[in-house]
Amino acid sequence: MKPRLQTSLGQQLVLTPQLRQALHLLQLSAPELEAEINEAVETNPLLEWDESAPLAAPGEDAAATGDDAGPAERADEPAYDDWDDARDVAWAEGGGGGGDPDSDASERVAQDETLRDHLAWQLHLSHLAPREVAIGEAIVDAIDDDGYLREPLAAIAAGLAPELVCDEEEVAAVLRTVQRLDPTGVGARDLGECLLLQLDALSEDTAGRDLARRAVSELIERLARLGAEGVAEALGCDASGAATALQLIRSLDPRPGARIGGMPQDTYVVPDCTISRQKGIWRVSLAGGRHSRLTIHRGYEQMLQQGAGADAGYLRGRLQEARWLLKNLEARGETLLKVVRCLVREQSGFLEFGAQALRPLTLREVAAQIGMHESTVSRAVARKYVHTPRGTIPLRAFFASGIDTGGGGEASSVAIQDMIRRLVEAEDPRKPLSDARLAERLKDSGVPVARRTVAKYREALNIPSSHERVRIA
């Protein structure tokens, strides 16, 4: 056949450097964002700090970015002329820590999040049957800190509760759901499966993806010894394609679980947003930060306009990077505001009355309301905190799985735990309530839950069993 040129028209999704940077900035916490920006200022001469611009205090962005996120002003609510008055009252009522008089500085210390906590949180937000959630919890408990499932499926099936009799096939079906959770590659039973899970998550048009899958499937034991030429010979492909596949494999993470839970001790929380109540209306604003002073160096910009000679190409590249960073920082703030405003609209009762008023809410529901992808919402709430009249809390606290109630509605698991805690606090210390009695009390309140569910929530609250709570009055 004679070689010939042929044109074709097609569409494909490509992650541009600008989009990659936007996704990266979105998932950073406030301290990590500050470190990222400081590094950018040090390496890019087109970026500088505008020292003449004052740091934005919490609430000052409300005029530009705030939005109504709650009901209209109520007659029994005190009216405040401005944010300063509301802030002074909040500090006076809460002893400086928000709306909770018992709060202290320890509230603002970030707690370590383990890999199991991260996986269990996603599992309970998935649309799974209670039976599948219970099997998934057993699988998550068997995953080690590197993200691998070392325990055989038969052992997991045998270790389930007597009422959850299942076989290996059912455990394997739930395992496939766990393997789709974040971080990608978690739940693998060996290195080859871990790498294949990460490769399958990539776009089909990723360069070298299919060849990399073959290399991992067929040559995983010899990849460390084979170079590009050895892989090309074993797979019957050209050396350049083998080199691309090997480069893609090197970019994968052989220990995906190690990325979770590495937060150091005594790390203080820096809120990304502020939720305040002004004249009975909930408002959301971005918390002030040093990045609000970031600007483009006008001197270098004028040099480019006048012609910078031999340095023009370099300065143009740095100017483009600076503009991308500023634009992506603005996009990050807009996305956070959309997510937090939606959370405030859906969970206004939680902000007013506490955990007992928290309604079931999932990432998918929030994503559908604001017109974004579920993964974008997940990145936006990851390791983000918000300052509220109830204290500084993680955005994750606004999400909860649901349980059907007797009246046809749903009650969140967090609200049920709070009801259990209140019942235990009000019980007779000489005759503590058993798990069965707690289940009956909840059923009388319109929340029918099983005794084993009550036991699980009680253990999650670190509440001892009834015979351990007996006290002589």
Domain boundaries, the chain: 62-106+268-398, 115-258, 402-468
Report yes or no: 277 and 283 within 8 Å, Cβ to Cβ. Answer: yes
**Cβ(339)–Cβ(380) under 8 Å?**
yes
**pLDDT band, residue 290 (cuts 50/70/90):** low
Beta strand pairing call for 385-388 and 273-278: parallel
Neighbours of 93 (CB within 10 A): 13
Distances (CA, A) of 444 to 130, 390, 418, 440: 22, 29, 16, 6
Residue 317 has pLDDT above 70, yes or no: yes
Is the pLDDT at 75 greater than 90, yes or no? no
Tens digit of pLDDT for each residue in 413-440? 777 888 888 888 888 887 888 888 888 8
CA angle (115, 117, 123) in 5-degree steps: 105
Give the residues across from 392 on adjacent strands.
Answer: 387
Residue 11 confidence (pLDDT): 66
Q: For residue 33, with 0-12 CB atoms within 10 Å meaning exposed, 13-18 middle and 19 or more buried, which class applies?
A: buried
The residues that bridge with 295 in the sheet, in sequence order, are 48
CATH top class, domain 402-468: mainly alpha
pLDDT of residue 264 exceeding 60, the answer is no
The candidate with the shortest Cα–Cα distance to 94, out of 306, 386, 428, 392, is: 392
At 185, list the tokens: 């590659």
**What local confidence, expressed as pLDDT, does residue 407 receive?**
54
Are 340 and 330 contacting, i.e. CB atoms less than 8 angstroms apart? no
**pLDDT classification of 94: cutoffs 50, 70, 90:** very low
